[in-house]
Chains A and B, each alone.
Chain A
C-alpha cells in the first residue's frame, strides 16, 4: 500500500503539489488524470523518490520513503518516465537486463537472466532482443522499457504517460499488458494518462488532479461524470455508456 500524507512540492514558493493525501491499494490500476500542470507527473516523481517533497510523507508498505535503502526500495517500486531517452548503444536484451541491477548490482546470475528472458517473452520481444534501441519504432521502444520494468519485478509499477506517441493499437496493447500485470502477477500499477477514455476503461481507481490538489478520486463510474470533468477541464463533456464502459466525447 502506498500512502501519501499532506505531500507538498513547491517551485519558487508556488506549490505544484499542494497537501495531497491519498491511499493507493495493492493489486489495482490507479490512473491520475487532469489538465497540464496539475502536478500529476510531479506527484509520481515524488512517490518514486526522483524528486524530494518539501513537506508531508510518502509511506510505502508502512515505511516512510526516506527510511528505505536505495536497492531495497528499487526491488519494491519502479518508475518509467515519459522521456527516457537513452543515448547508449544498447540492445533490447541489454536494456532489459538493467532491470536486474537492484538484485545483483550488475553481476547477473542465471536466475537474473531467466527473469530477463521471461520479461522479454512477456512483452513479445524475444525475436528482436538483439536489435539496438535506435533501430526500434516507438511502440517497440515502449515495450522494451516496460520489459525492463517487468524484469525489475517490483510490487508497484509507476508509469508516467506510457501511451505517449503511440498509435491506438499499441496504446491498447500497453494498457492490456498493464491490466494483465495486475491480474496475472498481482502487481500494483499507477499511471498518469491524458486520454480519459483509456483511464476510464482500464482503471480500478481514477484520481483527478487540478492545480496541485486532488479534485476527486474513485472508480470510473463515479469519476467519469459531467459534473466532475467539466469543471476541471473547462470543456463541455458528453458522456455515454458503451458496453458498460463510460466513454467521453469532448471533441
Chain B
C-alpha cells in the first residue's frame, strides 16, 4: 500500500523531469535561424542554465526552510532574505563605490554579499530558535517588516549614491529575468551543487525534523547543530537565486506547497526533487512564453508573483480555518 503510493510519486517526478527536458529543448531550439544560431545559442544556453540553477535553489531553500520552521507558509523570501541580498548589494556600492573591485568583479562581489547573508542567517536562526515559542502571525509580521525594511533601505541607498554608480548597480547587480547576471553562473552552480550535497546527506534527518523539534531531539538528531548548518545552506541558496535573477517573492512558496500537496509522502527525497522540477518548469516554461509568445510584453516575475500571491492568500485562508 505504501509502496504503491511511492510508485505514484516516482511516476509524477519522472513526468516532471520529462516536461522540464522538453521545455528546455524548446527554449533552446525554437526560432533558431541558420544565420544567427551561434549568437542565439551563446545567449540562450547560459540563460537556460541560470534558470535551472535558480529554480533548483529556490525550491531547495524553501522546502528546507519550511521543514526547519515546521511551517508551510514561511519561506526565506517572506522572511526578507532576498530583499536583504539587494540591500547588501546596494550597501557595497555605497561603501566601496562602483569602481572598487568588490563591486566591479561580479564573482568577488557575489562572495562578499554571501558572507553578509550568512551573518544574517545566524541572527535569524537565533531569533527563530532561541526565543520561546512565537505564533505564526508574529513571525510573518516580523518577516514582512524585515522585508519592507530591507527594500526601503536598498531604495534609500540607491537614491543616495551617485547617479553613475546607480546605473552600474541597476545594470549589473539588480538582476531580473530579462537581465540575468550570468557572470556568476559557474560560481552559483558550484555553490548550488555544494548546498545540494549537504542537504542530500541530511535527507532522512530532514524527514525527522519535519516531526518537530521535540521528536527530532528524542530520536537523537543533534538538533541545534543540524538546524544551524541547514540555515546557512538556505542563506547560500537564497543568495544563489537572488544573485542570478533577483528577488523571487513567491516562487519558492508556490513550488514547495505544490510539491507537498501533489505528492503523497513526507520523504524529502521526493519532495525536494519534485519541488525543484516544478520550479524549473515554471521558470523555463514561463520565460519561453514571455520571450517567444508575449514578446517580452509581460515579465515572467510578474506572472509568477501573481500566481504565487493568489496561492499565498489561499493558503492563509486555509490555515486560519484549520
Q: Give A contacts to B, CB under 8 Å.
A: 48-50, 70-75, 78-81, 84-91, 93-94, 98-99, 101-102, 105-107, 130, 152
Contacting residue for A48 out of B212, B213, B218, B221, CB 8 A: B218
Shortest 6 CB-CB contacts between residues of A and residues of B: A106-B204, A74-B220, A71-B220, A102-B220, A101-B219, A70-B222
- Asked if A50 contacts B211 (CB within 8 A), the reply is no
Q: Quick one: which of B207, B219, B264, B266 has the most chain A CB within 10 A?
A: B219
Chain B residues whose C-beta falls within 8 Å of the C-beta of A72 in the assembled complex = 220
Contacting residue for A98 out of B203, B211, B264, B265, CB 8 A: B211
B292 interface contact, C-beta 8 A:
no
Residue of A nearest to B215 (CB): A84
**Using a CB-CB cutoff of 8 Å, which residues 192-228 of chain B contact chain A?**
203-205, 207-208, 210-215, 217-222
Contacting residue for A101 out of B203, B208, B213, B265, CB 8 A: B208
Number of interface residues of B (CB under 8 A): 24
11 A-B residue contacts at CB 8 Å? A50-B214, A70-B217, A74-B218, A80-B218, A85-B212, A86-B215, A87-B72, A89-B264, A98-B207, A101-B220, A105-B204
Residue of A nearest to B208 (CB): A101
Contacting residue for A106 out of B208, B215, B217, CB 8 A: B208
- Asked if B220 contacts A93 (CB within 8 A), the reply is no
Chain A residues whose C-beta falls within 8 Å of the C-beta of B264 in the assembled complex = 89
- Asked if B211 contacts A81 (CB within 8 A), the reply is no
Smallest beta-carbon distance A121→chain B, Å: 18
Chain A residues whose C-beta falls within 8 Å of the C-beta of B70 in the assembled complex = 87
Chain B residues whose C-beta falls within 8 Å of the C-beta of A79 in the assembled complex = 214, 218
Smallest beta-carbon distance B45→chain A, Å: 38
Contacts beyond the supplied A88-B266, A102-B220: 9 A-B pairs with Cβ under 8 Å: A49-B217, A50-B213, A50-B214, A70-B222, A74-B220, A89-B265, A98-B215, A101-B208, A106-B204
Given A79-B218, A94-B266, CB of A130 within 8 Å of CB of B2: yes
B297 interface contact, C-beta 8 A:
no
Smallest beta-carbon distance A224→chain B, Å: 31
Chain A residues whose C-beta falls within 8 Å of the C-beta of B217 in the assembled complex = 48-50, 70
Mark contacts of B217-245 with chain A using CB atoms, 8 A cut-off: 1 yes-contact digit, 0 otherwise: 11111100000000000000000000000
